[in-house]
Structure 1
Amino acid sequence: MAVPAGSRGRRAATGPVGSPVNLAPFRDAVLSDPSPVTGARVAAAVQSSGQLLGTDGVLEAVENLTADLRGLGPLQRLALKGTVTDILVNGPSEVWTDGERGLERSQVTFSNDAEVRALATRLVTAGGRRLDDGNPCVDVRLDGYRVHAVLPPVSTQGTLLSIRIRRPRVFTLAELVGPASGWLPYLEAVVAGRLNFLISGATGSGKTTMLSAMLGLSASFERLVLVEDAAELNPDHPHVVGLQSRHSNLEGSGSVDLGELVRQALRMRPDRLIVGECRGAEVREFLAAMNTGHAGAGGTVHANSAAGVPARLAAMGALAGLEPQALALQASTALDVIIHLDRTAAGRQIRELALLRATSAGTLETVPALVARGTTMEFGPGWRELEPRLFGAGTGQARTAGS
């Protein structure tokens, strides 16, 4: 017997003789009522159907139907795995997950591309936006998820879905770094010394997780104001408020960008101003804030290496109308340290601490201060300048890398 649409990849509800139950009538019954879909309505639709499902069958039918109508459909069981951070759908027959073990292909499949498109459309609609042929690429935020969808023919292999899962668990810095790595005292000093910092790295390198863990070390009397495109930071701290950007509505109005949120955050008495990810013109307001006395600020930036951060900042500065020379001066005086993360086959790891410096030519460059070399750490030419920022003046070279 064919598996009912929408139930592939998870256990199908079964009747008293163990045969799969067709969920379509239950789904139609719920959707025929325009009122909000709730767990109680789903359960009532199943129980009033008159089908002899048995207790286990009813529970499974409610679970599967709820996933179809309110959750991630056949992807729901993947999202429930605590180690999965991303679910990637490359058409109906190819679903991947990303997590602590890297990319893995799952056994979940869809019946056809129409089923993938239906799920994508429902998720995007739940986020207050529209996904159709006239608007084929959409990004939305839902409770616990960030969803990106692309429809054909923009996508060449069917409907594409990329789902980032926000995990409620907060890692401590010690859990992420581990005392044996040698990096812990340096990162603790960045927070304790209220240095302004950026965490750089490629996609999936753990920048957001690291930023949350570092913010958890902030003094309890400090007020943290978070500015994010999508709310993902969850620091373990008693005083955190968050601002989140907003896309324009279906009429094309009502958007609130990160630059505006940074300006609003400065009016909220932040002890630490945090920009979850610097990606555009908001870098101007962020650097200006750090240069006008807002110490202890932090954020993340996409870059494949610490040496690639200046180019990323220059590109963002150009979007804000900043000349390269002005950007170099602002960034070199505002930011105390760059913390670069790598993701390798061995997992996520800290690769480098670096300084930003304006050159005589008016450009921006990084100067390595502490660099991972295999299982050891080496001081770079920027260490003499970074050390007193971390541990105070007069420390000399008392510390050794990894001590």
Structure 2
Amino acid sequence: MRAADAGFGGVVEAVRDRLAREGTPPDPPAVAAAARAEGVVLGAADLLRLLDGVGAALTGAGRLQPLLEAPGTTDVLVNGGGAVWVDDGAGLRRADLSLAGEDEVRPLAVRLAAGAGRRLDEASPFVDARLPDGTRLHAVLPPLAPAGTHLSLRVPAVRRLGFDELERSGAVPPGFGPVLRAVVAGRLSLLVSGGTGTGKTTLLQALLGLVAPSERIVLVEDAGELRPEHPHVVHLEARHGNVEGRGAVGLDDLVRQALRMRPDRLVVGECRGAEVRDLLAALNTGHAGGAGTVHANTASDVPVRLHALAATAGVAPAVVDAQLLAGVDVVVHVDRRGGTRAVAEVGVVDRHDGRVGVVPAIVRGPAGACRASGFARLHDRLGPGTWTDGVPADLAADPAAHLEALP
């Protein structure tokens, strides 16, 4: 039998299974020998292709690996039953590839979870982890997903986009750039809000790249995603418990450790649950210019969203409001319309109609940034001051001056 006579996927699976049974690493001689043992005769080109396929099947994402490696891919999703969807920057589309149902999807999910040091089985039917190459893994097993195992893979950016690049691409619309630069230079504490896949992490990473080189940034994350272009960054990452549930180190512990590491900017990564308590605590430690991200539909929804998340940690809404008002100056909201991700609003955290809320200061209009009702409050918070080394002279002299040109 020749490779061309059989489905190539079947050849890969047969060779993979043989190597797995024998405990042999997938090097070229071993793959060629396993192929011959399976009755497959290979030319040089087919052998190279088989090497890639077996390597992906044993250590990568199997037949999904080419999709993950394709230029521009941000997400690869597998629904119950094996249907595969891909987002390559223009929104989700159905991929030509389909996996062979639960018999292929579940073993792949279990193997990927094990590669991330996590357990995925009936006793632990979902997992959220980061693979060794930085890919974000999420998987859910039946019966939580009745149609079959669901697998979500988010691909890390190959290169980090700087703030200048976000401006040129339109992700930071005209007029927003100077305002956001001023927010960073003025050491205002901020939250980046938005939905899934809107570019919250990308924007925050670019903003942290604007921090003066003389400042020390300490990042605290559940799963490390932020990689700012900055000379002095310290990464702390939470650790989940082992199979017995022991050895876990949460964000609250890491925030306490971070405070002893002499941070100039303390940043807590994405909050999806009770860890919002730790985010608000971190932003109330007296370290100006802190930051974090949170899921929300609009900037004005951020307080309500924080209330809901904090309730899972037993924190009362009044406490959340007090911490939000004391610890957060600005909310930067990003959204996605069609295939375009961009900053939609900069709001100021303040009391409004007797309640703590986010008042729009700069909003996106047809031609770029426009003033809104909270503009004067943002202007006041960006008054003249003396900032740290490395800040552009015009910003250091008067960050608020950049707001004057906005319509």
- Partner SS, residue 220 of structure 1: coil
Q: Does 1:89 align with 2:82?
A: no
Partner of 2:143: 153
**Rounded Cα–Cα distance in structure 2 between residues aligned with 1:17 and 1:395:** 69
CA contact (8 A) 1:183 1:402 kept: no
Partner of 2:279: 286
Partner of 2:162: 172
Identify the range of structure 1 (368-377 vs 188-197) with the bigger mean alpha-carbon deviation: 368-377
CA contact (8 A) 1:226 1:242 kept: yes
Higher RCO (CA-CA < 8 Å; seq separation 6+): 2
Aligned CA RMSD, in angstroms, stands at 2.5
After TM superposition, give the deviation of residue 360 of structure 1 in Å. Answer: 7.1
CA contact (8 A) 2:350 2:359 kept: yes
Partner of 1:102: 91
- Partner SS, residue 129 of structure 2: strand
- Say if 1:104 and 1:323 are closer, same or farther in 2 by CA, change over 3 A: same
Q: Does 1:66 align with 2:59?
A: no
Partner of 2:389: none
* Paired letter, 1:89: V
- Partner SS, residue 108 of structure 1: strand
Q: Does 1:181 align with 2:171?
A: no
Q: Does 1:192 align with 2:185?
A: yes
* Paired letter, 1:177: E
CA contact (8 A) 1:196 1:295 kept: yes
Partner of 1:210: 203
**Rounded Cα–Cα distance in structure 1 between residues aligned with 2:264 and 2:196:** 28
Q: Does 1:384 align with 2:373?
A: no
Alignment partner of 1:351 out of 330, 344, 355: 344
Identify the range of structure 1 (304-313 vs 106-115) with the bigger mean alpha-carbon deviation: 106-115
After TM superposition, give the deviation of residue 34 of structure 1 in Å. Answer: 4.6
Identify the range of structure 1 (124-133 vs 337-346) with the bigger mean alpha-carbon deviation: 124-133
Identify the range of structure 1 (174-183 vs 217-226) with the bigger mean alpha-carbon deviation: 174-183
Q: Deviations over 1:189-220 (max 9, x none)?
A: 11111110000001111000001111111111
CA contact (8 A) 1:378 1:401 kept: no
Q: Deviations over 1:216-248 (max 9, x none)?
A: 111112111111111111111111121111221
After TM superposition, give the deviation of residue 67 of structure 1 in Å. Answer: 0.7
Partner of 1:242: 235
CA contact (8 A) 1:198 1:301 kept: yes
- Partner SS, residue 23 of structure 1: helix
Identify the range of structure 1 (234-243 vs 48-57) with the bigger mean alpha-carbon deviation: 48-57
- Partner SS, residue 277 of structure 1: strand
Identify the range of structure 1 (19-28 vs 305-314) with the bigger mean alpha-carbon deviation: 19-28
Identify the range of structure 1 (93-102 vs 233-242) with the bigger mean alpha-carbon deviation: 93-102
CA contact (8 A) 2:217 2:232 kept: yes
CA contact (8 A) 1:224 1:241 kept: yes
**Rounded Cα–Cα distance in structure 1 between residues aligned with 2:283 and 2:311:** 19
Q: Does 1:47 align with 2:37?
A: no
**Rounded Cα–Cα distance in structure 1 between residues aligned with 2:317 and 2:323:** 10
Q: Deviations over 1:339-377 (max 9, x none)?
A: 01111125111111111123575x421111111123343
After TM superposition, give the deviation of residue 280 of structure 1 in Å. Answer: 3.4
User: How many residue pairs end up in the alignment?
Assistant: 386
**Rounded Cα–Cα distance in structure 1 between residues aligned with 2:277 and 2:173:** 38
Q: TM-score, normalised by structure 2?
A: 0.87
**Rounded Cα–Cα distance in structure 2 between residues aligned with 1:100 and 1:84:** 7
* Paired letter, 2:228: P
Alignment partner of 2:363 out of 359, 371, 388: 371
Identify the range of structure 1 (117-126 vs 367-376) with the bigger mean alpha-carbon deviation: 367-376
- Partner SS, residue 74 of structure 2: strand
**Rounded Cα–Cα distance in structure 1 between residues aligned with 2:131 and 2:299:** 32
Alignment partner of 1:301 out of 288, 291, 294: 294
Structure 1 residue runs without a partner (length 5+): 2-13
Q: Does 1:232 align with 2:225?
A: yes
Q: Does 1:31 align with 2:20?
A: yes
Q: Deviations over 1:156-180 (max 9, x none)?
A: 2222101111123100112113386
Alignment partner of 1:221 out of 202, 208, 214: 214
After TM superposition, give the deviation of residue 16 of structure 1 in Å. Answer: 7.5
After TM superposition, give the deviation of residue 398 of structure 1 in Å. Answer: 7.6
Structure 2 residue runs without a partner (length 5+): 386-397
Larger % of helix: which?
2
Identify the range of structure 1 (225-234 vs 271-280) with the bigger mean alpha-carbon deviation: 271-280
Q: TM-score, normalised by structure 1?
A: 0.88
* Paired letter, 1:334: G
CA contact (8 A) 2:3 2:42 kept: yes
* Paired letter, 1:149: A
After TM superposition, give the deviation of residue 65 of structure 1 in Å. Answer: 0.4
CA contact (8 A) 1:90 1:160 kept: yes
Q: Percent identity?
A: 45
